[in-house]
């Protein structure tokens, strides 16, 4: 488990660097709070300003969630002041980062660093798809010929994701006997809301995507000490299930240096 522990340590260091970056003049939170109950901020990646409707929606959602945490922290401090002794307080930091912009589709990675009491802070990763023509959030349904729960497309995709996770776990010295029966990977289901946070990965071909980057928070597919996971699924793994829009969108291969952008 030494590799997994190092991974978690790296993730926690990264979280600390994220908070330090907020103090840098180069990173301006769009919302920030700092009181006796909670400290928190919302940061939106500057390139996302190129999509005003998306940017506005992210800002609204982020500010709303920060206000919710602030209210809960204030109530908790009032009800249990001893839990806030020695300058202890809650925290909530949310970041929205551009993963890719391919054709009409923008992929955003949302990261939440939170602490609401307990043994350790939490790190939650999710993704958002934005259709710039429709000016609304979507999911991966437009890219597949069907997305029925337990249907052939999502079953094939979930199987590919579990297999990729097993490879990544092996790299961290964690053995998975069978990805399709492993109890920790069982949370990856052939269901749009239970298959992981999916984003489009760029391609060596212009205006094409090479496949899906799939994100998992700590705890999602393993013990907390394992940290988060991100795996790449090439479009060829689900080629048989592409819709006409998917055929138009996917092609080429993943750029050699793309992993550093996940």
Q: Is the domain of 255 the same as that of 206?
A: yes
User: What is the number of other CB atoms lying within 10 angstroms of the CB of residue 148?
Assistant: 13
Domains held by the chain: number:
2
Q: Is the domain of 188 the same as that of 234?
A: yes
CA-to-CA distance for 258 and 262, rounded, in angstroms? 7
Q: Is the domain of 133 the same as that of 12?
A: yes
Q: What is the pLDDT of residue 24?
A: 41
pTM of the model: 0.88
Task: Classify residue 7: in a domain, yes or no.
Answer: yes
Task: Classify residue 221: in a domain, yes or no.
Answer: no
State the CATH number of the domain containing residue 43: 3.30.565.40
Q: What is the pLDDT of residues 168-217, one digit of tens each?
A: 999 999 999 999 999 999 999 999 999 999 999 999 999 999 999 999 99
Q: Is the domain of 9 the same as that of 133?
A: yes
Task: Classify residue 222: in a domain, yes or no.
Answer: no
Q: Is the domain of 104 the same as that of 153?
A: no
Task: Classify residue 219: in a domain, yes or no.
Answer: no
Domain encompassing residue 15? 2-138
């Amino acid at each position: 488990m030494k590799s997994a522990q190092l991974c978690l340590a790296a993730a926690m260091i990264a979280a600390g660097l994220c908070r330090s970056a907020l103090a840098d003049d180069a990173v301006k939170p769009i919302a920030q709070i700092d009181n006796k109950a909670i400290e928190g901020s919302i940061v939106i990646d500057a390139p996302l300003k190129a999509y005003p409707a998306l940017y506005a929606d992210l800002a609204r959602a982020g500010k709303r969630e920060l206000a919710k945490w602030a209210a809960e922290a204030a109530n908790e401090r009032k009800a249990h002041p001893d839990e806030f002794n020695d300058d202890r307080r809650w925290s909530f930091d949310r970041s929205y980062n551009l993963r890719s912009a391919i054709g009409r589709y923008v992929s955003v990675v949302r990261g939440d660093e939170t602490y609401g009491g307990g043994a350790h802070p939490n790190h939650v990763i999710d993704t958002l798809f934005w259709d710039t023509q429709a000016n609304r959030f979507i999911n991966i349904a437009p890219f597949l010929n069907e997305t029925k729960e337990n249907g052939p497309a999502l079953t094939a995709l979930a199987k590919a994701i579990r297999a990729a996770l097993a490879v990544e776990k092996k790299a961290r010295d964690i053995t998975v006997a069978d990805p399709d029966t492993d109890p920790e990977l069982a949370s990856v289901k052939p269901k749009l809301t239970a298959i992981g946070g999916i984003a489009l990965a760029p391609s060596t071909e212009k205006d094409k995507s090479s496949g899906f980057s799939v994100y998992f928070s700590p705890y999602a597919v393993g013990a907390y000490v394992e940290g988060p996971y991100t795996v790449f699924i090439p479009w060829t793994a689900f080629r048989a299930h592409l819709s006409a829009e998917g055929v138009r969108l996917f092609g080429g291969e993943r750029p050699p240096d793309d992993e550093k952008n996940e």
